[in-house]
Amino acid sequence: MRQILQNLRSGATILADVPAPAAVPGKVVIQTRRSLISMGTERMLVEFGRGSLLAKAKSQPDKVRQVLDKIKTDGLLPTLDTVFRRLDEPLPLGYCNAGVVTAAGQDVTAFSPGDRVVSNGPHAEIAAVPVNLCAKIPGGVTDEQAAFTVLSAIGLQGIRLIQPTLGEKIVVYGLGLIGQITAQLLLANGCRVMGVDLVEQRLELARRFGVFAVPAGSDPVTAADAWSNGRGVDGVLITASATTDDIVHQSAAMCRKRGRIVLVGVVGLNLNRADFYNKELDFQVSCSYGPGRYDDEYELKGHDYPYGFVRWTEQRNFEAVLAMMQSGRLVVDPLITHRYPFAQAPQVYRDMGKAGNTLGIILEYPQDVERKTVLPVLPSVTRNGQQPVLAVIGAGNFSKMTLMPALAKTGARIKYIADLKSDAAAYLAKKYGAENATTDKTLVLEDKDVSAVIIAAGHQVHARMVTDALKAGKNVFVEKPLAMNQSELQDVLQVYQSLTQPLSLMVGFNRRFSPHIVKMKQLLHGRTEPLAMTMTVNAGIIPPDHWVHDPERGGGRIIGEACHFIDLMVFLSESRVKSLSAVLLGEGTAVRDDKTSIVLELADGSIGTVNYFANGSKAYPKERLEVFSQGRVLFLDNFRITTGYGFKGFKKFRTSKQDKGHGHELARYVAFLAEGGAPLIPFDELVNVTSASFAAVEAARERKVVRIL
C-alpha cells in the first residue's frame, strides 16, 4: 500500500510504499476512501521541513536548549548524529480520514468489516486506528463530507470550552476550514457570530452561512464594538494561524468585561497583562478533538470515560459532528475547493505555498489496494551456511537511534524489520538494508530461514515475545527488561528450561560491553578483596503520565532502566546479587520510584550502590561510576573518560565519543550466532539481575531487605 510521509530534514513529501497494517487488539483496519488535507497543521509541518537548519532551530528554541545540554554531556558529534537521525525520520501526514472497515482486532466489538467510519488515521490507503478514535458514518453523509469530521471536532471542542449560550455574540477570528466550521456550529447553537479574516473570499463564504463578516482591511475591534452596541462581545474563538501577538490583543479589546477567549489555532502569545486584568478575562487553549486526546488509557487501551461524568469525549465529539452533518445544520460541501487523486498528493504538497484561496482539499483513493503485510525492500539473497539471519521486531526510537545503526555495521543479514507502524518498519528496512518490512510478527516467527530474533518492542510485550520466539525455535536477543514482573519471568524460565534444542537467550545489557567497562575489568583482574561500587545515574525528568511509569506498559524506570546498572555491578564483581535494600525519595514529588538508592550485597562480599535519580540538571553528566578496590579507585565519567587512581601504569582511558557498548555488544552477538561458543551472558545472570530489579522495587516500597540467593 501507499502512504504520504514528510521528511523533516529535506522537506520532501513522498508517496511511499509501506506494508499494510495488521489487525491487532484494540484497533480497526480501515481502507481509506477520502481524506482531507488540513491546510493549517499540515502546511506548518511541510514549511518546517523545507526550512533551513537555522530556521528549524529558530522555530524551536526549547529543542535548541536541549541540544546544547546534550553537547555538554555527550559531545558534539554524538549530539549532531542524534539530531540528524531524528530529522531524517519520516513523519506521517494527515488526520482526517474516512473509509470502510476491512478488519478488526479480536477484542473489538463496536465495529465490523463493512462499516463506514471516520478516524484520525493518516493519508494512507489503509490505516489501523484505535477504536476510541473512530466513529461510524451515518446514512446520508458522504465519505467526502465525513472526511471533515475530525477537523470539525477541533472547532467543536473550542466551542465547548467557551461555553456559549443562546443569543450570545461570539467572534471567530480566522475563517479557514476550522473557522468556517466553528462559525456554523455556533450559529446552530443559537449564537450570533462575527467573522474576521484577511481574505475577502473567505469572508464572503462565511456571509453565506449567516455570519456577520468584517470587510477585509477593516479594524476588527471597531467593528466588534459597533456590532455589540458598545458592550463588547461575549467571547472570541481564535482559529487563526499567525506569529503575531496582535490577534490575542485585539481579541481582548473586543471582549466585554469577564468575556472569554479560547485559542484553537496557533498565534503569538506574548500576553499583555493589562488586556486581561482590566476586564478580568478568561483565556484558555483548546486541546485538539476533546477529552481523551493524548491519554494513553483512552486512546491506546480503549478505556472510555464514564458517560455521566465526561459527556463529551473526542469520539463523542466525532459523533456529534456527524449528526450535525446528517441533519444539514453543518454544511461542508462549499468548503471543498479542490479534489485530487491520491497519486497526485506529493504535487499537492509541493504547491501548498501557492495555495491562494484554497480551503478544503480532498484526496480520492483507489478501490483496488495492495493489502500485503510484507513489503519486499531488497532482493532475497542466498544464505551462507555460517551467516546468521536476523529479524528485528520493533522500530521505535531505540531501534532508529541506536540498535539499527549499530546492527547494520556488523554486516549481518537482516531479513525483516517488523513493527505495527507501517511507515516506521518500511523506513528502517530501507535505510539499513533489511530485505523486508512487515507489520505481522507471526510471519517472522514462522520463517524457518530466520535464526535469531531481536526484540525491541514495548516493555509490556518482551516476555511474551521471548517465549513465542523460543517456542518457534529462534535464538532471542531482547532489549531490557527481560520481564516486568515475577510471573512473566517464571513464564520465560519455564519455556527456556523446557527447550529440547539448544537456543540462546540474550538481554541487551550493553554497558558491560563498553570499552570503558572492559578496561575496568582488566584493571581489576587478580584482585583479592571485594569491590565497593557506586553508580550515579542522572536519569532526567520524565513526566508522570509517560508510558515508562505505567506499570502495564513500562514497568517503571527501576525495572526498565536501572537493571542496566545492577547488571554492570554483577559483571564487574563476577558474582550474583545476594540481597538488596532500597529507599525512595520522600513525599513531595509527583514520581518517587525514579528517585531511588539501591544497595546491593553481592555473593563475593562486594557491595554496590545504584543512585538512580531523575531530579537533576540535564547539564550534568548522565552516568558516573566509581569503583574502590585495594587502595585504588576507578572513575568512569559518562562513558567518555575512565580515570585510574593508584594503578601502576594507568591514569586515563578515553574514547573519541561516548561509548555505552551497543556496537560492541551487537558485533559480539552476531559473531556468537555465527561461530557458537559460550553465551555472552550466562542465563542465570540474566535471571538474577532481572529478579534483583523486581526486588529493588519491593524493597523500596516496603522498606525491607530482600534476599535473592
Rounded to 5 degrees, φ, ψ at 6 are -115, 125
CA distance 152 to 150: 5
Q: Edge to edge, what strands does the sheet with 90-92 contain?
A: 13-17, 2-7, 90-92
pLDDT at 619: 87
pLDDT at 198: 93
- What cell does 182 get? 466553528
pLDDT at 350: 86
Over residues 444-451, the mean pLDDT reads: 96
- On the question of pLDDT at 353 being above 70, the answer is no
Q: Pick from 123, 80, 63: which is nearest to 98 by CA?
A: 123
pLDDT at 72: 59
Q: Cβ atoms within 10 A of the Cβ of 683, count? A: 16
Q: What is the DSSP letter of 544?
A: T
CA distance 15 to 213: 39
Over residues 310-330, the mean pLDDT reads: 97
Rounded to 5 degrees, φ, ψ at 108 are -85, 125
**CA angle in degrees (0–180, nearest 5) for 288-289-292:** 100
Q: What is the DSSP letter of 615?
A: S
Share of the chain above pLDDT 70, in %: 93
Strand residues in 497-651 grouped as ranges (E): 505-507, 532-538, 577-584, 595-602, 607-613, 623-629, 632-637, 641-645
- What cell does 152 get? 470539525
- On the question of pLDDT at 208 being above 80, the answer is yes
Q: Which of 116-125, 179-188, 270-279, 312-321 has the lowest mean pLDDT?
A: 270-279
- On the question of pLDDT at 517 being above 70, the answer is yes
Beta carbons within 8 Å of 645's beta carbon, 6+ residues apart: 632, 633, 634, 635
Over residues 279-291, the mean pLDDT reads: 95
pLDDT at 26: 95
The pLDDT-based confidence of 202 (bands split at 50, 70, 90) is very high
Chain centroid to CA 143: 29
The domains found in the chain, sorted by start residue, are 2-148+332-364 (3.90.180.10), 151-285 (3.40.50.720), 377-508 (3.40.50.720), 511-707 (3.30.360.10)
- Residue 458 near residue 548 (C-beta atoms within 8 A): no
The pLDDT-based confidence of 12 (bands split at 50, 70, 90) is confident
In the beta sheet, which residues pair with residue 135? 118
- On the question of pLDDT at 81 being above 70, the answer is no
Counting every residue, how long is the chain?
Answer: 709
pLDDT at 421: 95
Q: CA of 358: how far to CAs of 37, 353, 482, in Å?
A: 11, 10, 53
- Residue 234 near residue 261 (C-beta atoms within 8 A): no
Beta carbons within 8 Å of 320's beta carbon, 6+ residues apart: 153, 156, 312
Q: What are the pLDDT digits (tens) for 539-552? A: 999 999 899 999 99
Over residues 411-417, the mean pLDDT reads: 95
Q: What are the pLDDT digits (tens) for 624-634? A: 999 999 999 99
Q: What proportions of the chain, in percent to the nearest 5, are helix, strand and coil?
A: 35, 25, 40
pLDDT at 10: 79
- On the question of pLDDT at 675 being above 90, the answer is yes
pTM: 0.90
Matching residue, cell 499567525: 242
CA distance 214 to 222: 10
Rounded to 5 degrees, φ, ψ at 615 are -120, 25
- On the question of pLDDT at 691 being above 90, the answer is yes
- On the question of pLDDT at 142 being above 90, the answer is yes
Q: Which of 25-29, 356-360, 499-503 has the lowest mean pLDDT?
A: 356-360
Q: Cβ atoms within 10 A of the Cβ of 116, count? A: 18
Over residues 423-435, the mean pLDDT reads: 95
Strand residues in 539-687 grouped as ranges (E): 577-584, 595-602, 607-613, 623-629, 632-637, 641-645, 652-654
CA distance 700 to 594: 11
Rounded to 5 degrees, φ, ψ at 398 are -65, -45
Over residues 96-120, the mean pLDDT reads: 96
Alpha helices in 26-176 (DSSP H): 41-50, 53-59, 61-74, 76-88, 143-146, 149-162
pLDDT at 305: 96
Q: What are the pLDDT digits (tens) for 593-640? A: 999 999 999 999 999 999 999 999 988 999 999 999 999 999 999 999
Contacts by 483-488 with C-beta closer than 8 Å and gap 24+?
483/690, 484/459, 484/460, 484/551, 484/555, 484/559, 484/560, 485/555, 485/694, 486/691, 486/694, 488/462, 488/463, 488/464
Over residues 298-318, the mean pLDDT reads: 95
Q: What is the mean pLDDT of the chain?
A: 93
